[in-house]
């Protein structure tokens, strides 16, 4: 802890390394994507989910068959987004993916959830730090959750509303809170639920 007689240090943001290190594409591509995102992805119109998916794929997103992409979604860099078959992306979901986000098949990411892969070197120079997010098959991230860089949600795990996921969630585990902690299992064992 800092001594009381020392003034706290202030990091000069003017000297901080720029965020463009995460772009991986030309300025033209990034700016063009911004316009397409505004017109076809982020807008609240109830236009075709398929049209949103086609726009994302045109800019490098890997999106499987049968994916539903609802209105008012945001994707920072589509070329760093990977979604498996038959997943549902709810209204208002924001992929702030300065690093890659990997979403398995049959995943539900519900309304207003925020997934961010970026942070900053807050004790040094505020340089951008990124880590990928991995969401395995069958996961349900319920409404208004936050998933941080480096998190991994195991197969068929579930995060309850407004949870903050910042680490590994074991398969079939239900987590809750900020930070999210395990509160139970999503499914009972096959032996307990199936009659002989």
Instruction: State yes or no: pLDDT of 143 exceeds 70.
Output: yes
Element (H, E) at 36: helix 27-36
- pLDDT, tens digit, 9 for 90 and up, residues 65-84: 999 999 999 999 999 999 99
**Beta strand pairing call for 152-153 and 168-169:** parallel
Task: Give the Cα separation of 10 and 182 in Å (integer).
Answer: 37
The residues, any chain, with a CB within 8 Å of residue 18's CB and separated by 6 or more, are none
Checking if the pLDDT of 163 tops 80, the result is yes
Looking at residue 45, its pLDDT comes to: 82
Chain centre to alpha carbon of residue 132: 9
Strand-strand pairing, 133-135 and 152-153: parallel
Does residue 192 register a pLDDT over 60?
no
Alpha carbon distances (Å) from 28 to 33, 35, 109, 146: 8, 11, 30, 30
What is the token pair recorded at 105? Answer: 């098949």
Q: Is 126 left (phi over 0), alpha (psi -120 to 50) or beta?
A: left
- pLDDT of 193 reads 46
* Highest mean predicted confidence (pLDDT) among 8-17, 46-55, 117-126, 147-156: 147-156
Q: Is residue 138 very low, low, confident or very high in pLDDT (cuts 50, 70, 90)?
A: very high
Cα-Cα-Cα-Cα torsion 135, 151, 133, 12, nearest 10 degrees, comes to 160
The reported pTM is: 0.88
Query: Are 109 and 129 spatial neighbours (Cβ–Cβ below 8 Å)?
Result: no
Whether the CB-CB separation of 126 and 10 falls below 8 Å is answered with no
Alpha-carbon torsion angle 70, 74, 76, 78, nearest 10: 20
Length, in residues, of the chain: 196
What is the dihedral sign for C-alpha 112, 116, 120, 126? negative
pLDDT of 190 strictly over 70: no
From CA 71, how far away is CA 170, in angstroms rounded?
Answer: 30
- Strand-pairing partners, residue 109, are 89, 141
Percent of the chain with pLDDT over 90: 70
- Specify the fold of 25-184: UDP N-Acetylglucosamine Acyltransferase; domain 1 (2.160.10)
pLDDT tens digits, one per residue of 112-135: 999 999 888 888 888 888 899 999
| Residue-level pLDDT at 195 | 45
């Amino acid at each position: 802890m800092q001594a009381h007689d020392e003034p706290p240090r202030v990091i000069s943001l003017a000297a901080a390394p720029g965020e463009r290190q995460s772009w991986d594409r030309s300025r033209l591509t990034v700016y063009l994507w911004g316009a397409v995102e505004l017109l076809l992805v982020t807008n609240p119109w109830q236009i075709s989910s398929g049209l949103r998916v086609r726009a994302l794929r045109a800019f490098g997103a890997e999106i499987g068959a049968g994916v539903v992409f609802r209105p008012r979604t945001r994707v920072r860099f589509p070329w760093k987004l990977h979604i498996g078959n038959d997943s549902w992306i709810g209204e208002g979901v924001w992929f702030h993916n300065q690093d890659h986000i990997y979403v398995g098949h049959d995943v539900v990411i519900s309304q207003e959830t925020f997934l961010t892969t970026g942070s900053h070197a807050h004790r040094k120079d505020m340089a951008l730090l990124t880590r990928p997010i991995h969401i395995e098959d069958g996961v349900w991230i319920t409404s208004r959750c936050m998933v941080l860089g480096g998190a991994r949600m195991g197969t068929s795990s579930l995060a309850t509303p407004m949870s903050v996921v910042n680490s590994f969630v074991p398969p079939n585990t239900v987590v809750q809170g900020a930070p999210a902690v395990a509160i139970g299992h999503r499914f009972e064992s096959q032996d307990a639920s199936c009659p002989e």
